[in-house]
Amino acid sequence: MTPQAGTHARHSLFISDLHLCSTRPAITRQLTAFLQSIAGKADALYILGDLFEYWAGDDDLDDPRHAEVIAALSALKPAGTQVFFMHGNRDFLLGEAFAAKTGITLLSDPTLLTLYGQRVLLTHGDTLCTDDIAYQAFRQQVREPAWQAGFLAQPLSARKAQIEALRQRSEQEKSQKSESIMDVNADAVHGLLKQYDYPELLIHGHTHRPARHLIEVDGHRCERWVLGDWYEQGSCLRLDAQGCSNQPL
């Protein structure tokens, strides 16, 4: 779609994969500026996972490095912008305490919405990467309530040390995987669209490969929009009654 004709038309915004952390403070500053200047003009902001590089648990809310993000998110709802959050593969332990402090609403993955007359299916995107069998097994393990309860029962410092070790191992493993394995599987995408009765739009992140894909499944046409990461210049998608377009930051 072409960029929107009017910046004041009703619209919603979608971002993902910011991977906020202490070693990349520029991204936190960019996000704060975005929340204050751009996001506040939208009906809603949807964060589709991996807002943080990792989240060790809601008992880490008082970390000073999180204060700026929490304050900026908290300011949106009173200003009239709803904020929705879907867990990613890095921050799936973010919970109700964070939601209460920031005023965001947690979404299940996937979630089907109707926005501006269009059916929109949202997902983080990692469940579509079914060719990465090892990752899918790991994902299933860490999403189990019993595993999470056991992990969160450990001291915060121990959790952070374990996460850092997992991150380093993950980076090593990714360097040995082919690019195709870490991308979405076409059959998985088609299956998800069929499961949700062929929505007009599918929006996800995770792969860090921003693009618009036109898909036809069982005679139904769909646009698959992939959100980009924020490592270099940021990425934001806008949706209004005219469709999707990239939102300049």
pLDDT tens-digit readout, 130-166: 999 999 999 999 999 999 999 999 999 999 999 999 8
Question: Is residue 5, in this structure, part of any structural domain at all?
Answer: no
* Residue 248, in any domain of the structure: no
CB 241 within 8 A of CB 9: yes
Q: What CATH number is given to the structural domain containing 55?
A: 3.60.21.10
Summarize the confidence of residues 77-88 as an average pLDDT: 96
- Determine the 3-state secondary structure of 109 from DSSP: coil
Identify whether 202 is part of a domain: yes
Residue 131, classed as helix, strand or coil, is coil
Total of domains in the chain: 1
Q: What are 94's strand-pairing partners? A: none
DSSP labels, 181-203: TTSPPHHHHHHHHHHTT--SEEE
Determine, yes or no, domain membership for 94: yes
Q: Residue 194 and residue 199: Cα distance in Å, rounded?
A: 8
Report residue 65's pLDDT band, with 50, 70 and 90 as the boundaries. confident
How far apart are alpha carbons 170 and 174 in whole angstroms?
6
For 163, the domain range is 12-243
Residue 112 in domain: yes
Give the global pTM.
0.94
Check residue 170 and give its pLDDT: 80
Residue 209 has pLDDT above 90, yes or no: yes
Q: What is the pLDDT of residue 232?
A: 84
What are the pLDDT digits (tens) for 20-58?
Answer: 999 999 999 999 999 999 999 999 999 999 999 999 999
pLDDT of res. 1? 39
Is 1 contained in some domain? no
Domain assignment of residue 74, yes or no? yes
In a domain, 3, yes or no: no
Mean pLDDT, the chain, as a whole number? 94
Using CB atoms within 10 A of its CB, is residue 202 exposed (0-12), middle (13-18) or buried (19+)?
Answer: buried
Give just the sign of the alpha carbon dihedral 127, 23, 180, 214: positive
